[in-house]
Structure 1
Protein backbone atom coordinates (compact mmCIF):
# COMPACT_ATOMS: atom_id res chain seq x y z
CA UNK A 1 0.00 0.00 0.00
CA UNK A 2 1.30 3.46 -0.92
CA UNK A 3 1.23 6.10 1.84
CA UNK A 4 3.01 9.46 1.59
CA UNK A 5 6.19 9.33 3.68
CA UNK A 6 5.17 12.33 5.79
CA UNK A 7 1.83 10.74 6.66
CA UNK A 8 3.36 7.35 7.44
CA UNK A 9 6.05 8.85 9.67
CA UNK A 10 4.35 11.86 11.23
CA UNK A 11 0.98 10.32 12.02
CA UNK A 12 2.64 7.24 13.48
CA UNK A 13 4.78 9.36 15.82
CA UNK A 14 2.12 11.84 16.92
CA UNK A 15 -1.14 9.86 17.07
CA UNK A 16 -1.58 10.97 20.70
CA UNK A 17 -1.08 14.67 19.87
CA UNK A 18 -3.47 14.28 16.94
CA UNK A 19 -6.17 12.84 19.17
CA UNK A 20 -5.66 15.60 21.78
CA UNK A 21 -5.09 18.63 19.59
CA UNK A 22 -7.21 18.28 16.48
CA UNK A 23 -10.49 20.23 16.57
CA UNK A 24 -13.90 18.65 16.31
CA UNK A 25 -16.49 20.01 13.87
CA UNK A 26 -19.30 22.60 14.00
CA UNK A 27 -22.75 21.42 15.06
CA UNK A 28 -24.01 22.42 11.60
CA UNK A 29 -22.00 19.56 10.06
CA UNK A 30 -24.47 17.10 11.56
CA UNK A 31 -27.25 18.69 9.49
CA UNK A 32 -24.99 18.65 6.43
CA UNK A 33 -24.47 14.91 6.88
CA UNK A 34 -28.14 14.07 7.28
CA UNK A 35 -29.87 16.63 5.03
CA UNK A 36 -27.33 17.06 2.23
CA UNK A 37 -25.55 13.71 2.14
CA UNK A 38 -28.44 11.55 3.32
CA UNK A 39 -26.42 9.81 6.04
CA UNK A 40 -29.06 8.21 8.27
CA UNK A 41 -30.15 4.93 9.88
CA UNK A 42 -30.28 2.18 7.29
CA UNK A 43 -27.38 3.65 5.32
CA UNK A 44 -23.78 2.46 5.21
CA UNK A 45 -21.04 5.09 5.25
CA UNK A 46 -17.26 4.84 4.92
CA UNK A 47 -14.86 7.15 6.73
CA UNK A 48 -11.87 7.01 4.38
CA UNK A 49 -8.55 8.02 5.92
CA UNK A 50 -10.31 7.99 9.26
CA UNK A 51 -7.26 8.77 11.40
CA UNK A 52 -7.96 8.56 15.13
CA UNK A 53 -11.72 8.64 14.58
CA UNK A 54 -12.63 12.27 15.29
CA UNK A 55 -15.01 12.42 12.32
CA UNK A 56 -15.94 8.75 12.67
CA UNK A 57 -17.55 9.58 16.01
CA UNK A 58 -19.71 12.22 14.33
CA UNK A 59 -20.77 9.75 11.65
CA UNK A 60 -21.71 7.20 14.31
CA UNK A 61 -24.13 9.70 15.84
CA UNK A 62 -26.24 9.66 12.65
CA UNK A 63 -27.37 6.09 13.26
CA UNK A 64 -25.84 4.89 10.00
CA UNK A 65 -23.62 1.80 9.82
CA UNK A 66 -20.09 3.20 9.85
CA UNK A 67 -16.95 1.60 8.41
CA UNK A 68 -13.49 3.12 8.82
CA UNK A 69 -10.44 2.60 6.60
CA UNK A 70 -7.11 3.95 7.87
CA UNK A 71 -3.65 2.85 6.68
CA UNK A 72 -1.55 4.11 9.62
CA UNK A 73 -1.59 1.50 12.38
CA UNK A 74 -1.02 3.92 15.28
CA UNK A 75 -3.92 6.10 14.18
CA UNK A 76 -6.18 3.10 13.60
CA UNK A 77 -5.38 1.80 17.09
CA UNK A 78 -6.59 5.09 18.60
CA UNK A 79 -9.82 4.82 16.59
CA UNK A 80 -10.48 1.24 17.70
CA UNK A 81 -9.81 2.20 21.33
CA UNK A 82 -12.24 5.13 21.17
CA UNK A 83 -14.91 3.51 18.99
CA UNK A 84 -14.81 -0.27 19.46
CA UNK A 85 -18.20 -0.73 17.75
CA UNK A 86 -16.90 0.64 14.43
CA UNK A 87 -15.43 -1.83 11.94
CA UNK A 88 -11.95 -0.42 11.22
CA UNK A 89 -9.79 -1.83 8.45
CA UNK A 90 -6.29 -1.33 7.12
CA UNK A 91 -6.45 -0.03 3.56
CA UNK A 92 -5.79 2.93 1.30
CA UNK A 93 -7.93 5.19 -0.84
CA UNK A 94 -6.75 3.33 -3.93
CA UNK A 95 -7.41 -0.10 -2.39
CA UNK A 96 -10.09 0.00 0.32
CA UNK A 97 -10.77 -3.74 0.19
CA UNK A 98 -14.52 -3.09 0.16
CA UNK A 99 -16.94 -4.70 -2.33
CA UNK A 100 -18.25 -2.75 -5.30
CA UNK A 101 -21.43 -0.71 -4.72
CA UNK A 102 -21.30 -1.46 -0.98
CA UNK A 103 -21.62 2.00 0.65
CA UNK A 104 -24.10 4.87 0.39
CA UNK A 105 -21.56 7.58 1.21
CA UNK A 106 -17.81 8.05 1.41
CA UNK A 107 -16.51 10.75 3.75
CA UNK A 108 -12.95 12.05 3.77
CA UNK A 109 -12.27 14.35 6.74
CA UNK A 110 -8.96 16.26 6.76
CA UNK A 111 -7.70 13.60 4.37
CA UNK A 112 -8.53 13.87 0.67
CA UNK A 113 -5.50 16.05 -0.19
CA UNK A 114 -3.32 13.05 0.75
CA UNK A 115 -4.79 10.82 -1.97
CA UNK A 116 -6.29 13.13 -4.60
CA UNK A 117 -5.49 10.85 -7.54
CA UNK A 118 -7.55 9.42 -10.40
CA UNK A 119 -6.99 5.94 -8.94
CA UNK A 120 -8.45 6.95 -5.57
CA UNK A 121 -11.44 8.64 -7.19
CA UNK A 122 -12.05 5.54 -9.32
CA UNK A 123 -12.00 3.39 -6.17
CA UNK A 124 -14.48 5.72 -4.47
CA UNK A 125 -16.81 5.55 -7.47
CA UNK A 126 -16.47 1.75 -7.50
CA UNK A 127 -17.54 1.25 -3.90
CA UNK A 128 -20.37 3.84 -3.96
CA UNK A 129 -23.88 2.62 -4.66
CA UNK A 130 -25.84 4.31 -7.49
CA UNK A 131 -26.75 7.80 -6.35
CA UNK A 132 -24.29 7.58 -3.46
CA UNK A 133 -22.46 10.61 -2.17
CA UNK A 134 -18.84 11.68 -1.69
CA UNK A 135 -18.18 14.20 1.08
CA UNK A 136 -14.88 16.04 1.58
CA UNK A 137 -14.42 18.16 4.68
CA UNK A 138 -11.62 20.25 6.16
CA UNK A 139 -11.25 22.53 9.16
CA UNK A 140 -9.24 25.44 7.74
CA UNK A 141 -7.30 27.81 10.01
CA UNK A 142 -8.50 31.43 9.70
CA UNK A 143 -5.36 33.18 8.48
CA UNK A 144 -6.95 36.65 8.75
CA UNK A 145 -6.28 36.48 12.51
CA UNK A 146 -2.73 37.74 13.07
CA UNK A 147 -1.64 35.12 15.59
CA UNK A 148 -3.01 32.32 13.40
CA UNK A 149 -1.00 33.71 10.48
CA UNK A 150 2.06 33.77 12.74
CA UNK A 151 1.60 30.06 13.45
CA UNK A 152 1.65 29.40 9.71
CA UNK A 153 4.84 31.47 9.40
CA UNK A 154 6.48 29.29 12.06
CA UNK A 155 5.65 25.95 10.42
CA UNK A 156 5.69 26.64 6.66
CA UNK A 157 9.52 26.36 6.32
CA UNK A 158 9.13 22.66 7.19
CA UNK A 159 6.36 21.92 4.67
CA UNK A 160 8.50 20.51 1.84
CA UNK A 161 6.60 18.30 -0.61
CA UNK A 162 3.80 17.47 1.82
CA UNK A 163 0.34 17.51 0.18
CA UNK A 164 -1.59 20.43 1.66
CA UNK A 165 -5.27 21.34 1.44
CA UNK A 166 -4.58 25.08 1.24
CA UNK A 167 -2.64 24.73 -2.02
CA UNK A 168 -5.77 23.47 -3.79
CA UNK A 169 -3.89 20.78 -5.73
CA UNK A 170 -6.52 18.23 -4.67
CA UNK A 171 -9.07 19.95 -6.93
CA UNK A 172 -7.16 18.91 -10.06
CA UNK A 173 -8.89 15.50 -10.12
CA UNK A 174 -12.30 17.16 -10.58
CA UNK A 175 -14.47 16.99 -12.58
CA UNK A 176 -14.13 13.23 -12.24
CA UNK A 177 -15.70 10.38 -14.24
CA UNK A 178 -18.72 8.98 -12.44
CA UNK A 179 -19.19 11.99 -10.15
CA UNK A 180 -21.34 15.10 -10.50
CA UNK A 181 -19.99 18.62 -9.90
CA UNK A 182 -18.66 19.41 -6.43
CA UNK A 183 -20.75 21.73 -4.25
CA UNK A 184 -19.44 23.70 -1.26
CA UNK A 185 -20.97 24.48 2.14
CA UNK A 186 -19.06 26.53 4.72
CA UNK A 187 -19.40 26.85 8.49
CA UNK A 188 -17.62 28.93 11.13
CA UNK A 189 -16.04 27.11 14.07
CA UNK A 190 -13.89 27.81 17.13
CA UNK A 191 -11.79 25.21 18.88
CA UNK A 192 -11.94 26.11 22.58
CA UNK A 193 -9.44 24.83 25.10
CA UNK A 194 -6.10 25.38 26.85
CA UNK A 195 -3.49 26.89 24.48
CA UNK A 196 -1.20 23.90 25.06
CA UNK A 197 -3.90 21.67 23.57
CA UNK A 198 -5.52 23.74 20.83
CA UNK A 199 -2.29 25.38 19.60
CA UNK A 200 0.77 23.33 20.62
CA UNK A 201 -0.71 19.82 20.36
CA UNK A 202 -2.61 20.86 17.23
CA UNK A 203 0.52 22.03 15.44
CA UNK A 204 2.70 19.15 16.66
CA UNK A 205 0.16 16.82 15.02
CA UNK A 206 0.71 18.40 11.58
CA UNK A 207 2.31 15.63 9.55
CA UNK A 208 5.48 17.40 8.47
CA UNK A 209 6.06 18.73 12.01
CA UNK A 210 5.30 15.37 13.61
CA UNK A 211 7.86 13.66 11.37
CA UNK A 212 10.70 16.01 12.41
CA UNK A 213 13.46 14.83 14.76
CA UNK A 214 12.62 15.51 18.39
CA UNK A 215 15.12 18.36 18.63
CA UNK A 216 13.49 20.24 15.73
CA UNK A 217 10.01 19.57 17.09
CA UNK A 218 11.18 21.13 20.34
CA UNK A 219 12.24 24.26 18.44
CA UNK A 220 8.79 24.55 16.86
CA UNK A 221 7.07 23.96 20.21
CA UNK A 222 9.23 26.63 21.85
CA UNK A 223 8.30 29.17 19.16
CA UNK A 224 4.61 28.38 19.65
CA UNK A 225 4.88 28.76 23.42
CA UNK A 226 6.69 32.08 22.98
CA UNK A 227 3.85 33.27 20.75
CA UNK A 228 1.30 32.17 23.36
CA UNK A 229 3.22 33.95 26.13
CA UNK A 230 3.73 37.21 24.25
CA UNK A 231 0.71 37.80 22.01
CA UNK A 232 -1.89 40.07 23.66
CA UNK A 233 -4.78 37.82 22.60
CA UNK A 234 -3.16 34.71 24.09
CA UNK A 235 -0.94 35.73 27.00
CA UNK A 236 -2.22 34.58 30.36
CA UNK A 237 -5.33 32.95 28.93
CA UNK A 238 -6.36 29.61 30.39
CA UNK A 239 -8.73 29.06 27.45
CA UNK A 240 -8.30 30.30 23.89
CA UNK A 241 -10.58 30.14 20.86
CA UNK A 242 -8.72 28.93 17.77
CA UNK A 243 -10.77 30.16 14.77
CA UNK A 244 -11.52 27.87 11.83
CA UNK A 245 -13.65 27.82 8.71
CA UNK A 246 -15.05 24.40 7.90
CA UNK A 247 -15.21 23.70 4.15
CA UNK A 248 -17.61 20.85 3.34
CA UNK A 249 -17.77 19.68 -0.29
CA UNK A 250 -20.04 17.02 -1.73
CA UNK A 251 -21.04 15.40 -5.00
CA UNK A 252 -23.17 12.46 -6.07
CA UNK A 253 -22.32 9.39 -8.07
CA UNK A 254 -23.82 9.66 -11.54
CA UNK A 255 -25.21 7.02 -13.84
Structure 2
Protein backbone atom coordinates (compact mmCIF):
# COMPACT_ATOMS: atom_id res chain seq x y z
CA UNK A 1 0.00 0.00 0.00
CA UNK A 2 -4.05 4.76 -0.23
CA UNK A 3 -0.64 13.24 8.97
CA UNK A 4 0.91 16.07 11.60
CA UNK A 5 -1.26 16.29 9.13
CA UNK A 6 0.16 13.44 7.42
CA UNK A 7 -3.52 13.06 6.68
CA UNK A 8 -2.81 10.05 8.68
CA UNK A 9 0.56 9.12 7.44
CA UNK A 10 3.03 8.99 4.60
CA UNK A 11 2.78 6.29 1.97
CA UNK A 12 5.35 3.52 2.00
CA UNK A 13 7.25 2.72 -1.18
CA UNK A 14 10.76 2.21 -2.48
CA UNK A 15 11.47 5.89 -3.20
CA UNK A 16 13.33 6.59 0.03
CA UNK A 17 16.65 7.48 -1.61
CA UNK A 18 17.91 10.86 -2.72
CA UNK A 19 16.04 12.72 -5.44
CA UNK A 20 17.86 14.31 -8.37
CA UNK A 21 19.28 17.75 -7.67
CA UNK A 22 16.57 20.40 -7.65
CA UNK A 23 13.73 17.93 -7.08
CA UNK A 24 11.81 17.32 -3.87
CA UNK A 25 12.33 13.73 -2.59
CA UNK A 26 9.21 11.66 -3.25
CA UNK A 27 8.48 10.99 0.42
CA UNK A 28 8.88 14.67 1.32
CA UNK A 29 6.57 15.55 -1.57
CA UNK A 30 3.92 13.16 -0.22
CA UNK A 31 4.21 14.76 3.22
CA UNK A 32 3.84 18.20 1.67
CA UNK A 33 0.76 17.16 -0.29
CA UNK A 34 -0.87 15.25 2.55
CA UNK A 35 -0.44 18.15 4.97
CA UNK A 36 -2.01 20.68 2.60
CA UNK A 37 -5.69 20.05 3.31
CA UNK A 38 -6.10 21.87 6.61
CA UNK A 39 -5.60 25.26 4.99
CA UNK A 40 -8.58 24.51 2.72
CA UNK A 41 -10.81 22.78 5.27
CA UNK A 42 -13.85 25.03 4.72
CA UNK A 43 -13.62 24.75 0.92
CA UNK A 44 -13.02 21.00 1.22
CA UNK A 45 -16.19 20.60 3.27
CA UNK A 46 -18.20 22.68 0.80
CA UNK A 47 -16.99 21.29 -2.51
CA UNK A 48 -15.75 17.71 -2.12
CA UNK A 49 -18.34 15.04 -3.06
CA UNK A 50 -19.94 12.46 -0.82
CA UNK A 51 -19.73 8.73 -1.64
CA UNK A 52 -22.10 6.48 -3.58
CA UNK A 53 -24.29 4.60 -1.13
CA UNK A 54 -23.98 1.38 -3.17
CA UNK A 55 -20.20 1.60 -2.79
CA UNK A 56 -20.44 1.94 0.99
CA UNK A 57 -22.87 -1.01 1.14
CA UNK A 58 -20.43 -3.17 -0.84
CA UNK A 59 -17.48 -2.08 1.27
CA UNK A 60 -19.22 -3.10 4.49
CA UNK A 61 -21.46 -5.98 3.47
CA UNK A 62 -19.14 -8.57 5.07
CA UNK A 63 -18.49 -6.61 8.28
CA UNK A 64 -19.41 -8.65 11.37
CA UNK A 65 -21.19 -5.75 13.06
CA UNK A 66 -22.25 -2.08 12.82
CA UNK A 67 -19.24 -0.39 14.51
CA UNK A 68 -17.29 1.56 11.90
CA UNK A 69 -14.15 3.67 12.19
CA UNK A 70 -13.76 6.39 9.55
CA UNK A 71 -9.98 6.78 9.50
CA UNK A 72 -8.49 9.95 8.05
CA UNK A 73 -12.06 11.28 8.14
CA UNK A 74 -11.25 14.79 6.95
CA UNK A 75 -14.29 17.05 7.20
CA UNK A 76 -16.66 14.09 7.45
CA UNK A 77 -17.79 13.47 3.86
CA UNK A 78 -17.73 9.68 4.28
CA UNK A 79 -18.68 9.93 7.95
CA UNK A 80 -21.99 11.57 7.04
CA UNK A 81 -22.80 8.81 4.55
CA UNK A 82 -22.02 6.13 7.14
CA UNK A 83 -24.29 7.85 9.67
CA UNK A 84 -27.09 8.17 7.10
CA UNK A 85 -26.85 4.43 6.43
CA UNK A 86 -27.28 3.63 10.13
CA UNK A 87 -23.77 2.62 11.15
CA UNK A 88 -22.28 3.33 14.59
CA UNK A 89 -19.45 5.63 13.61
CA UNK A 90 -16.33 6.99 15.26
CA UNK A 91 -14.15 9.35 13.22
CA UNK A 92 -10.38 9.82 13.55
CA UNK A 93 -8.54 12.68 11.81
CA UNK A 94 -5.07 14.18 12.43
CA UNK A 95 -5.59 17.73 11.13
CA UNK A 96 -7.19 20.09 13.69
CA UNK A 97 -8.84 22.32 11.07
CA UNK A 98 -10.40 19.37 9.26
CA UNK A 99 -11.48 17.84 12.55
CA UNK A 100 -13.12 21.12 13.62
CA UNK A 101 -15.17 21.16 10.41
CA UNK A 102 -16.26 17.56 11.01
CA UNK A 103 -17.28 18.26 14.59
CA UNK A 104 -19.22 21.35 13.55
CA UNK A 105 -21.09 19.49 10.82
CA UNK A 106 -21.65 16.22 12.71
CA UNK A 107 -21.78 17.16 16.40
CA UNK A 108 -23.30 13.82 17.43
CA UNK A 109 -20.43 11.76 15.99
CA UNK A 110 -17.57 10.79 18.27
CA UNK A 111 -14.59 12.46 16.57
CA UNK A 112 -11.02 12.01 17.81
CA UNK A 113 -7.65 13.43 16.86
CA UNK A 114 -5.34 10.63 15.80
CA UNK A 115 -3.69 8.94 12.84
CA UNK A 116 -3.70 5.62 11.03
CA UNK A 117 -0.35 4.85 12.63
CA UNK A 118 -1.63 5.63 16.16
CA UNK A 119 -5.37 4.98 16.44
CA UNK A 120 -6.85 6.17 19.76
CA UNK A 121 -9.18 3.17 20.18
CA UNK A 122 -9.01 -0.12 22.12
CA UNK A 123 -8.18 -3.50 20.63
CA UNK A 124 -11.03 -5.16 18.69
CA UNK A 125 -13.34 -2.19 19.19
CA UNK A 126 -14.68 -1.81 15.61
CA UNK A 127 -16.12 -4.14 12.99
CA UNK A 128 -14.87 -2.14 10.03
CA UNK A 129 -12.30 0.54 9.20
CA UNK A 130 -13.03 2.71 6.19
CA UNK A 131 -11.13 5.58 4.62
CA UNK A 132 -12.42 8.09 2.08
CA UNK A 133 -9.79 9.40 -0.35
CA UNK A 134 -7.13 9.04 2.36
CA UNK A 135 -5.70 5.53 2.50
CA UNK A 136 -2.93 6.39 0.03
CA UNK A 137 -1.49 8.72 2.69
CA UNK A 138 -1.14 5.91 5.26
CA UNK A 139 2.23 4.36 6.12
CA UNK A 140 0.91 0.81 6.06
CA UNK A 141 4.07 -0.54 7.68
CA UNK A 142 2.80 1.06 10.89
CA UNK A 143 -0.87 1.50 10.02
CA UNK A 144 -1.48 -2.11 8.99
CA UNK A 145 -0.86 -3.56 12.47
CA UNK A 146 -2.75 -0.66 14.08
CA UNK A 147 -5.81 -1.18 11.88
CA UNK A 148 -5.65 -4.92 12.51
CA UNK A 149 -5.41 -4.24 16.25
CA UNK A 150 -8.63 -2.22 16.45
CA UNK A 151 -10.59 -4.54 14.13
CA UNK A 152 -12.69 -7.37 15.53
CA UNK A 153 -11.98 -10.84 14.05
CA UNK A 154 -13.33 -10.98 10.50
CA UNK A 155 -13.52 -7.19 10.37
CA UNK A 156 -13.26 -5.25 7.12
CA UNK A 157 -10.79 -2.63 5.94
CA UNK A 158 -12.04 -0.61 2.95
CA UNK A 159 -10.66 2.39 1.09
CA UNK A 160 -13.05 4.44 -1.01
CA UNK A 161 -12.02 6.95 -3.68
CA UNK A 162 -14.18 9.24 -5.77
CA UNK A 163 -12.67 9.29 -9.27
CA UNK A 164 -13.52 11.24 -12.42
CA UNK A 165 -15.17 9.13 -15.14
CA UNK A 166 -12.79 9.87 -18.00
CA UNK A 167 -14.80 7.55 -20.25
CA UNK A 168 -16.90 10.68 -20.77
CA UNK A 169 -15.33 12.84 -23.47
CA UNK A 170 -15.45 16.21 -21.75
CA UNK A 171 -14.09 14.74 -18.51
CA UNK A 172 -11.14 13.25 -20.40
CA UNK A 173 -10.54 16.69 -21.91
CA UNK A 174 -10.68 18.28 -18.48
CA UNK A 175 -8.00 15.88 -17.24
CA UNK A 176 -5.75 16.91 -20.12
CA UNK A 177 -6.24 20.60 -19.31
CA UNK A 178 -5.63 20.32 -15.57
CA UNK A 179 -2.83 17.77 -15.68
CA UNK A 180 -1.88 15.49 -12.78
CA UNK A 181 -1.83 18.26 -10.18
CA UNK A 182 -5.64 18.27 -10.18
CA UNK A 183 -6.58 14.97 -11.83
CA UNK A 184 -3.72 12.59 -11.24
CA UNK A 185 -3.03 9.00 -10.14
CA UNK A 186 -6.07 7.45 -8.45
CA UNK A 187 -8.31 10.24 -9.87
CA UNK A 188 -9.46 8.30 -12.96
CA UNK A 189 -10.60 4.66 -13.05
CA UNK A 190 -7.73 3.05 -15.00
CA UNK A 191 -5.03 4.71 -12.92
CA UNK A 192 -6.97 4.00 -9.73
CA UNK A 193 -7.02 0.26 -10.46
CA UNK A 194 -3.27 0.23 -11.09
CA UNK A 195 -2.35 2.44 -8.14
CA UNK A 196 -4.46 0.56 -5.60
CA UNK A 197 -3.31 -2.82 -6.94
CA UNK A 198 0.22 -1.74 -5.97
CA UNK A 199 -0.72 -0.59 -2.48
CA UNK A 200 1.01 -2.37 0.34
CA UNK A 201 -1.48 -4.28 2.46
CA UNK A 202 -0.09 -6.76 5.00
CA UNK A 203 -1.63 -9.77 3.26
CA UNK A 204 -1.83 -13.47 4.04
CA UNK A 205 1.33 -15.43 3.48
CA UNK A 206 3.88 -13.08 5.02
CA UNK A 207 5.24 -12.49 8.47
CA UNK A 208 2.98 -9.44 8.79
CA UNK A 209 -0.12 -11.27 7.57
CA UNK A 210 -3.19 -9.40 8.77
CA UNK A 211 -5.57 -9.28 5.81
CA UNK A 212 -6.80 -11.53 3.01
CA UNK A 213 -6.49 -10.78 -0.70
CA UNK A 214 -7.88 -7.39 -1.77
CA UNK A 215 -10.95 -6.91 -3.96
CA UNK A 216 -11.78 -3.89 -6.14
CA UNK A 217 -15.14 -2.58 -7.33
CA UNK A 218 -16.54 0.61 -8.85
CA UNK A 219 -19.97 2.22 -8.54
CA UNK A 220 -21.56 5.02 -10.61
CA UNK A 221 -21.73 8.34 -8.83
CA UNK A 222 -22.13 12.00 -9.73
CA UNK A 223 -22.00 15.45 -8.24
CA UNK A 224 -24.11 18.44 -9.26
CA UNK A 225 -21.71 21.24 -10.18
CA UNK A 226 -21.40 24.54 -11.98
CA UNK A 227 -18.22 25.59 -13.75
CA UNK A 228 -17.31 27.78 -10.78
CA UNK A 229 -17.97 25.09 -8.19
CA UNK A 230 -16.04 22.48 -10.19
CA UNK A 231 -13.05 24.84 -10.34
CA UNK A 232 -13.43 25.31 -6.58
CA UNK A 233 -13.47 21.53 -6.14
CA UNK A 234 -10.27 21.11 -8.14
CA UNK A 235 -8.68 23.88 -6.09
CA UNK A 236 -8.94 21.60 -3.02
CA UNK A 237 -6.75 18.90 -4.60
CA UNK A 238 -3.40 18.48 -2.85
CA UNK A 239 -1.36 19.02 -6.00
CA UNK A 240 -3.10 22.34 -6.60
CA UNK A 241 -2.93 23.49 -2.99
CA UNK A 242 0.86 23.21 -2.91
CA UNK A 243 1.45 25.06 -6.20
CA UNK A 244 2.98 28.54 -6.20
CA UNK A 245 0.13 31.05 -6.32
CA UNK A 246 0.78 32.29 -9.86
CA UNK A 247 0.98 28.75 -11.23
CA UNK A 248 -2.17 27.73 -9.35
CA UNK A 249 -4.15 30.71 -10.66
CA UNK A 250 -3.01 29.99 -14.23
CA UNK A 251 -4.17 26.37 -13.97
CA UNK A 252 -7.55 27.34 -12.53
CA UNK A 253 -8.00 30.04 -15.19
CA UNK A 254 -7.30 27.51 -17.95
CA UNK A 255 -9.84 25.19 -16.36
CA UNK A 256 -12.48 27.93 -16.31
CA UNK A 257 -11.81 28.68 -19.98
CA UNK A 258 -12.16 25.00 -20.92
CA UNK A 259 -15.42 24.56 -18.98
CA UNK A 260 -16.90 27.74 -20.44
CA UNK A 261 -16.20 26.48 -23.97
CA UNK A 262 -17.78 23.05 -23.52
CA UNK A 263 -21.53 22.73 -24.24
CA UNK A 264 -21.90 20.25 -21.36
CA UNK A 265 -20.52 22.66 -18.76
CA UNK A 266 -20.70 26.17 -20.18
CA UNK A 267 -24.15 27.15 -18.97
CA UNK A 268 -25.59 26.54 -15.52
CA UNK A 269 -25.57 23.29 -13.55
CA UNK A 270 -24.45 19.89 -14.78
CA UNK A 271 -23.66 16.48 -13.31
CA UNK A 272 -19.96 15.70 -12.98
CA UNK A 273 -19.70 12.00 -13.95
CA UNK A 274 -17.83 10.08 -11.27
CA UNK A 275 -17.29 6.62 -9.86
CA UNK A 276 -16.85 5.65 -6.24
CA UNK A 277 -14.07 3.05 -6.39
CA UNK A 278 -13.53 0.66 -3.49
CA UNK A 279 -10.64 -1.50 -2.31
CA UNK A 280 -11.56 -3.89 0.49
CA UNK A 281 -9.90 -6.65 2.52
CA UNK A 282 -10.93 -8.73 5.54
CA UNK A 283 -9.06 -9.16 8.80
CA UNK A 284 -7.61 -12.65 9.01
In the alignment, structure 1 residue 235 sits paired with structure 2 residue 266: yes
Supply the distance in 2 between the matched residues of 1:220 and 1:32 (Cα, whole angstroms).
Answer: 36
Residue 238 of structure 2 corresponds to: 207
Supply the distance in 1 between the matched residues of 2:176 and 2:39 (Cα, whole angstroms).
Answer: 23
Greater RCO, CA 8 A, separation 6+: 1
* Partner SS, residue 122 of structure 1: helix
Residue 32 of structure 2 corresponds to: 5
Residue 55 of structure 2 corresponds to: 29
Residue 249 of structure 1 corresponds to: 279
Residue ranges of structure 1 left out of the alignment (5+ in a row): none
Residue 22 of structure 2 corresponds to: none
- Aligned counterpart in structure 1 of residue 132 of structure 2, from 101, 109, 116: 109
Moved over 6 A (4+): none
After superposition, residues 88-103 of structure 1 pair within 5 angstroms as 88-103=111-126
In the alignment, structure 1 residue 185 sits paired with structure 2 residue 217: yes
* Partner SS, residue 273 of structure 2: strand
> Any idea what the Cα deviations from partners look like across 1:177-197, whole Å, max 9, x if unmatched?
111111223211121132222
TM-score by length of 1: 0.87
Residue ranges of structure 2 left out of the alignment (5+ in a row): 7-30, 204-208
**Contact residue 163 and residue 186 of structure 2 kept, 8 A:** no
Residue 41 of structure 2 corresponds to: 15
Supply the distance in 1 between the matched residues of 2:78 and 2:219 (Cα, whole angstroms).
Answer: 16
In the alignment, structure 1 residue 55 sits paired with structure 2 residue 55: no
Supply the distance in 1 between the matched residues of 2:107 and 2:54 (Cα, whole angstroms).
Answer: 26
Root mean square deviation of aligned Cα = 2.3
> Any idea what the Cα deviations from partners look like across 1:123-163, whole Å, max 9, x if unmatched?
1111111111111111111122232223322333647xx98
> Any idea what the Cα deviations from partners look like across 1:96-143, whole Å, max 9, x if unmatched?
122221111100111111115222112111111111111111111112
Residue 119 of structure 1 corresponds to: 142
Residue 194 of structure 1 corresponds to: 226
Mean alpha-carbon deviation: is it higher for 102-111 or for 91-100?
A: 91-100
